[in-house]
Structure 1
Amino acid sequence: MAKTTKTMRAADAALDAAAAAAKDAKRLAKTLPKRDAKKLRTLAEDAKEASTASRKSVERSPKKVVKKAVAAIARVEKATDKAEARLAAAATKTAEAERKRAAKEADKAAAAKKKAAEKKASKKTSSKKTSVATPEKKVAERKPAAATTTEPAPDPTAAPADPAAPAVDLAVLTVAQLRGRARAAGITGYSRLTKAQLLARLSS
């Protein structure tokens, strides 16, 4: 009798686990592309069905109930792992593209700043040459020190420091992208976190 009771408790635990797996899978499916979401929802329904075994079934064939529930859970977990791996890969790809875009914009801004500095220096040099070529030659000869006090034009070849690349705003990312980042950061249980919780964990 004790053995049967223990087996029945194991069956009840398996049914609870299957129900939880189905719930988590449905939640995750909302963040996935249509194809992956459809497959995961189907497996979630199977797990939910396995978790609704009748009490009579648990009493008569607890081992069979456990086997069915465990198999359903395994299928859901396998599909979930694959979907999360694809999400992580997509998030990494997006982050890399964002980094390259930011670097490109920084280079473009630096080039524009350098060009503006060169143009300004060229105008100053041209203005200086024009003032030296004026008819007041005697004044320039009597006061040579005045020419030496003119501040030198800035070096047109000096390149300004590159501006820092803009940081990625986590708030604009989707839940799927945030979960991908959480996975890459080694955060556990991220598939059950909300967007606000993910932002808090990633920002800490």
Structure 2
Amino acid sequence: MSKTTKPERKALSALEDAAAAARFAKQAAKTLPPKRAKQLREVAEDAKDASDVSKKAVRKHPRKVAKRAGKAADRALTATETALAREQKKAAKKAKKKSEKAGEKRAAEKKAAEKAAAAKKKSAGEDAFGRKVAKAAPKRAKKTSAPSPVDADAAGVEDPAVDELIEAVIELEPVAEPETAAAPDVDDDHESASDDLATLSVVALRGRAREQGHTGYSRLTKAQLVELLS
């Protein structure tokens, strides 16, 4: 067996490099889009062809074989690295865009949640204020409203304004002059007097009570005034 020379060993090493570059390019092409994968497979085929040289050609033209195989291996490695770098850059850009979109979505959700919380807080405050106002309204109305003369009569409460009104009505009412009539029967006197008093208004009854010198009449009801004056 003849001993290989240095140029032959160099040629054989270049052939191995070309074959390895071809395999690497074919493997990388599987991860690329169709167009780029096709281009890379073509380069891989060139490197494979450059690595497929007979031993006779290596012994006869070692330098030529080494040069051709070396160029094919370099071309295949460069094309593979470039294609992978582009895909990695594209994938990184896509991931960044996706991350930014996710961040915008989270920010929008956070803003919407804050807005909803603020609206809920405002609504709760308005409800609390409404309940407070509704609770305070009866007390305020009771405190500010003044009882009418009729209410004062029903409650039996003396009101200076009512007394002044009664006195003014009494002064305006003409005093009926006594009629000369036959004396009534003793049995019917009390009943007829009660009937006459029942036809009078509360104001008139209080006026009569005042004329007769009674006290505390402003607290009495109509029935009580009739009984007092009977």
Scaled by the length of structure 2, the TM-score of the pair is 0.55
Amino acid paired to 2:47: A
TM-superposed deviation, 1:137? 6.6
Deviations 1:6-27 (A, max 9, x none): 2111111111111100000000
* Identity across matched positions, percent: 40
Report matched runs for 1:1-204 at 5 Å: 5-135=5-135
**Residues 76, 135 of structure 1: alpha-carbon distance in 2 compared, 3 angstrom cutoff:** closer
Q: Quick one: which amino acid aligns to residue 35 of structure 1? A: K
1:35 counterpart SS class: helix
CA distance in 1, matches of 2:48, 2:135: 98
| Higher mean C-alpha displacement, 40-49 vs 76-85 | 76-85
Give the TM-score normalised by the residue count of structure 1. 0.62
- The 1:131–1:63 alpha-carbon spacing in structure 2 relative to 1, beyond 3 Å, is same
Structure 2 stretches of 5 or more lacking a match? 141-230
How much has 1:138 moved relative to structure 2? 8.9
Q: Alignment length, in residue pairs?
A: 139
Distance 1:84 1:110 in 2: 38
Distance 1:20 1:135, change over 3 A: closer
Structure 1 unaligned blocks of 5 or more: 141-204
| 1-structure distance, mates of 2:135, 2:89 | 73
2:63 aligned counterpart, secondary structure? helix
Deviation string, structure 1 residues 137-159 (Cα, Å, up to 9, x no partner): 7989xxxxxxxxxxxxxxxxxxx
Q: Distance in 2 between matches of 1:61 and 1:136?
A: 111
Structure number, greater radius of gyration: 2
Once residues 135 and 108 of structure 2 are traced to their aligned partners in structure 1, the CA distance between those partners, rounded to angstroms, is 44
**Cα separation, 2, equivalents of 1:4 and 1:120:** 89
C-alpha change, 1:85 and 1:135, in structure 2 (3 Å) is: closer
Letter in 2 for 1:20: A
The alpha carbon displacement at 1:136 in A equals 5.2
User: 1:76-107 CA distances to partner (integer Å, 9 max, x unpaired)?
Assistant: 12212321232132122202211210111111
Amino acid at match of 2:45: E
CA RMSD for the aligned pairs? Answer: 2.3
CA 1:24 to 1:136, structure 2 compared with 1: closer, same or farther past 3 Å?
A: same
The 1:134–1:45 alpha-carbon spacing in structure 2 relative to 1, beyond 3 Å, is same
Q: Runs ≥4 in structure 1, deviation > 3 angstroms?
A: 135-140
The whole-number CA distance in structure 2 between the counterparts of 1:80 and 1:65 is: 22
**Alignment deviations for residues 131-189 of structure 1 (CA, whole Å, 9 cap, x no partner):** 2113457989xxxxxxxxxxxxxxxxxxxxxxxxxxxxxxxxxxxxxxxxxxxxxxxxx
Q: Secondary structure at the match of 1:31?
A: coil
